[in-house]
Amino acid sequence: MKISIICFIGVTDVIIIGIIAILLFGGKELPQFINRILDNIKESKKHAKENHDIDDTTKPKE
């Protein structure tokens, strides 16, 4: 059974993380940083979908 970490994060936690992020990256660079993270997530999902079609025949036999 998979349990997502998001289930354990409350509103207060999100606010604290947001304040820390603003302090670390500043108000101007935070949106750029978030956009880079989201772009990387989209790329990862795209590559995962492409590689999902690869069969398991390339694995070495034991």
* Rounded distance between C-alpha atoms, residue 62 and residue 47, angstroms: 28
Domain that holds residue 47: 27-53
Examine residue 31 and state whether it is found in any structural domain, yes or no: yes
Number of domains in the chain: 1
Q: Do 21 and 30 contact (CB within 8 A), yes or no?
A: yes
Examine residue 34 and state whether it is found in any structural domain, yes or no: yes
Task: For residue range 24-61, list pLDDT tens digits in order.
Answer: 888 888 888 889 989 998 998 888 888 776 555 555 55
Examine residue 44 and state whether it is found in any structural domain, yes or no: yes
Examine residue 46 and state whether it is found in any structural domain, yes or no: yes
Examine residue 59 and state whether it is found in any structural domain, yes or no: no
pLDDT at 39: 92
**In terms of pTM, does the model score above 0.95?**
no
Pull the structure tokens for residue 28.
Answer: 């101007």
For tokens 């998979």, the residue is 2
Examine residue 8 and state whether it is found in any structural domain, yes or no: no
